Each structure stands twice: as C-alpha cells, then as structure tokens.
Amino acid sequence: MDRYSVSRTKRSLFYIIMAFLTIGFIIAECVLPSERSQIASDENIRKELLDNCGTQFDPQISKMFVDMLDNGMVVIDENNKSVHGYQDNADIESAADKFISEVMKTMSSQEKADSIDYLTGLHMRSRGQQIIAALMQENDGCLAFIDMDNLKKVNDVHGHKAGDRALKLIGNLLAEETENENFAACRLGGDEFLIFMPYSDRKKAESVVKHIFESFGNAREADCEIKEAALSAGLCLTTKGATFESDYNRADKALYYVKQNCKGTYYFYEQLLADNMENPNLSVDIRNVAKLLKESGSYTGALGLNYREFARIYEFMKNVGERHKHNCYLIMVTMNTMPEQQADIEEIEKALDYMEQAICSKIRKVDVCTRYSSMQYLIILFEPQENQIPNIMERIFMYYYELCDSDDFKPQYEYIRMTDDK
C-alpha cells in the first residue's frame, strides 16, 4: 500500500469513525435510554453507511464497514459507558485515531498475507514486481528470470507432490538469498521466478546465480523423484532508475535464448547483444542456422524426449508413415516388481535409470524414447523389420541386466504398429 493510498484510506476511515462516535455521543447524551437501541441498531447504522456511500463516506471503506457489521465484527453497544467520556471533539478525534491505527495495522497485515505464495513463501507476481521495480529505482543491480525445466515431466511421472517439492526447494533458495533488504524475489506463476540482486558487477551477480543452481542441483540429487528438474535463467544488468518493463523483457529474451540453445544454464542479455554484434548476418544465413541447429540438437543413441515432445513426434511419425507407407512401431516397456519384493523408491529410480541407459544405447538415432509413468517407458522404432523387434528388445534387456545388479524387477514389453492405431 503506497503512501498516498494509506493517507487516503486513513482520511476515509477517520470520517466514518467520527460519524460512528458522534452518533454514539448524541445517542448517549440526548436520547432516552429506552430509545437508544432502536436508533443505534446495526440496521440503522448499516442504512446510514449505504445511503451516504459515495457522498459523505468513501465507497470502498463504507463497504468494508458494512461487511464488518454483517459478519458480526462490529458490535453496536448502546449501554457502553465509555461513550460518556467524550466531552468534546478532541476526545472523539483521539479515539477515532486510535481505532484507525488498529484498522490500518490489520489491513496491512492482511495485504501482506494476501500477496504471499503459499507453496514457496515468496511474494506473488503483482506484489513482487512492485517491490523489485521500487528497488530498481534506488539501486544498480541485476534482474534474473529463472525457469524450472522439466517440472511437467516430474508432475506426470511422480505426481504433483513431487513437483511441489521442487518448487518449494527453489522458493527456499531464493528466500535465503533475499534476506538482504536490497534483494527481492517472487514467483511469477507456474515454474517461473524473478529475483533482483543489488549487484551491478557481473561477476557478483553470476556468483549468486551459480550458488542457487549448485544448491538446487545438490538438493535435487538427494530426492530421486525430482532429479529431472533443472534451472535455466536469463539475466540483465540494470542501472538505477531503469524501467522495470524494459529490463524484464531483456531478461526474458536471455532466458528464451537459454531455453532454445542450452537449457540448464544461464545467459546474460549483454552476452546476447555482444554475440549479435559479432555475427550481424547470422540470422539471415540459412547455412549458419542449420549449423547451429545441428550443434544444439546433437545427441548420441536414441532421441530421448519428455512425454509432451514424444507425443508430438508420435503424431508426426504416424502421419509420415501413413503418407509414405513407412512401418513404425510403438513399444511399451513395463518394469514389473517381483511378488515377494517390496522395492523402495530409490531402488525403483535406479532400475529405471539403467533401463533408460539400455534403451538409449541399444536403439538407433532415428528411434525415440520417453519415460511414460513411474514404471514404464515408451519407444518408437522407425521402420524395423517386425520379426526383428524381439531381438532388439532382447539386446536392451540383456544390457539392462548387465547394468543392474538387482533382480527385483522383471522388464516386459508389448508393441503395436502405429499405422494400426485408429
């Protein structure tokens, strides 16, 4: 709540409280006791507020008091002896000011509570951006736009409780960094966060971001259900008095570059400008674009994707197969636990990691795989001979058994021709 709003709210509260206390004084001094309850009833006070809403009383504050009356938060006590103590306007004003201070304190506490994200403990987008914008007016610094990679995959495979733990983790790390009063952080929504650091020196800002990334990575390794989560960040150095919107957009552009080219790292907007200055014609040279695509998309073994990307590739390959008569097969690998075994989550994750390694190393670069659920993988084989599928799967399972020294899990598979999926 800014100073102007506080002043305006206090003034509106003062007029209403003065009206309440003045009415109480008149009732106490001028009206017979038998008539007081009728005049000072909740309904009459309520009617007075509504009738003068927008003229004598501020509409927003009037509504607040009506709500307080309706919810029993204000009690009209015509027999309260304290009202007789008001001998003049100075007494009434003093009582009104005291009550206003209590109301303003309550409103301030409520506003603060309403602006906090329950899950991460950080400010929510609107309030957080206001705080950061104010700090940017008074300090040089660095704005960092942080995004959590693979949160959807964590939610899809392990459930939203696992995803919530990952979000709480980054929330705690950002909260630790913002204990300094000139730091500020907020959750923009979903898997996106914003932090302001009062460091115009790039190395200092970079050290903070590195510490956040390293701490997140270490904590992630201790929780096998969130180990797929990672962080990417775009950073922009800011100068005192800079506009929030322009620097926010620059940090966002740097983050976009990271997401497109080097997820799991961070990049400064200033680096982006320097790169463009050195290679001004890069964006219009299709050969250079192709080279960048090849370098950014380079991988070994099978193409491993998250489920959403896998689903798009599935539809694409299915359409290509139908158009050009290619035979593609969808295979589901399920890790079954032995009936007498009670495997814990860490053993399950270790076994699934081994299976993923086996799949990616034993199928071709034109084939695609993804983790489908907590115990299953999906594979797309492009144009294999159908009678060779058992041999392919046997190679995968044999390599899995070489990697995994436990026999708690028994992998099985089933498959269908993708063009038969109607």
| The pLDDT of residue 277 is above 50 | yes
| Distance, CA of 374 to CA of 11 (rounded, Å) | 59
Least confident of 105-119, 266-280, 371-385, 398-412: 105-119
Least confident of 136-150, 209-223, 236-250, 337-351: 337-351
Q: What is the mean pLDDT of the chain?
A: 77
Q: Which of 87-91, 147-151, 281-285 has the highest mean pLDDT?
A: 147-151
The DSSP bridge pattern shows strands 141-149 and 192-197 to be antiparallel
pLDDT-based confidence at 209, cuts 50/70/90? very high
Residue 338 gets which letter from DSSP? Answer: P
pLDDT-based confidence at 32, cuts 50/70/90? very low
Kindly state the percentage of the chain with pLDDT values over 90: 32
Single pTM value for the model: 0.55
Q: What's the confidence (pLDDT) of residue 262?
A: 81
Residue 240 gets which letter from DSSP? Answer: T
CA nearest 196: which of 229, 162, 236, 223?
236
Q: Which of 28-37, 158-167, 398-407 has the highest mean pLDDT?
A: 158-167
Q: What's the confidence (pLDDT) of residue 282?
A: 44
Question: Cα separations (Å) of 253 from 19, 233, 249, 267, 363?
Answer: 55, 10, 6, 10, 37
| Distance, CA of 165 to CA of 325 (rounded, Å) | 46
| Distance, CA of 62 to CA of 65 (rounded, Å) | 5
| The pLDDT of residue 14 is above 70 | no
Q: Degrees (nearest 5) of the Cα angle 43, 49, 55? A: 155
| Cβ 352 vs Cβ 153: under 8 Å | no
Over range 387-407, report the average pLDDT. 90
Q: What is the pLDDT of residues 215-246, one digit of tens each?
A: 999 998 888 889 889 999 999 999 999 899 99
Question: Which comes out higher in pLDDT, residue 34 or 386?
Answer: 386
Q: What's the confidence (pLDDT) of residue 290?
A: 67
| Distance, CA of 210 to CA of 178 (rounded, Å) | 15
Over range 59-80, report the average pLDDT. 65
Q: Which of 99-103, 296-300, 320-324, 352-356 has the highest mean pLDDT?
A: 352-356
Kindly state the percentage of the chain with pLDDT values over 70: 69
Rg of the chain's alpha carbons, rounded to an integer?
32
Q: What is the pLDDT of residues 37-53, one digit of tens each?
A: 444 456 777 777 777 77
| Distance, CA of 59 to CA of 49 (rounded, Å) | 9
Residues 6+ apart with CB under 8 A from 248: 129, 143, 145, 194, 236
Q: What's the confidence (pLDDT) of residue 65?
A: 72
* Cβ atoms within 10 Å of 51's Cβ, excluding its own: 12
| Distance, CA of 267 to CA of 258 (rounded, Å) | 7
Least confident of 98-112, 140-154, 192-206: 98-112
* Cβ atoms within 10 Å of 310's Cβ, excluding its own: 20
In one letter, which amino acid is 306? Answer: N
pLDDT-based confidence at 25, cuts 50/70/90? very low
| Cβ 24 vs Cβ 36: under 8 Å | no
Over range 370-398, report the average pLDDT. 90
| The pLDDT of residue 9 is above 70 | no
* Cβ atoms within 10 Å of 109's Cβ, excluding its own: 10
Reported in sequence order, the residue ranges of 285-421 that DSSP labels E, i.e. its strands, are: 303-304, 328-337, 368-373, 376-382, 409-417
Q: What's the confidence (pLDDT) of residue 244?
A: 93
Residues 6+ apart with CB under 8 A from 260: 296
Q: What is the pLDDT of residues 78-116, one digit of tens each?
A: 555 454 454 555 665 566 566 656 655 555 555 555 578
Q: What's the confidence (pLDDT) of residue 100?
A: 59
In one letter, which amino acid is 211? Answer: H
Residues 6+ apart with CB under 8 A from 218: none
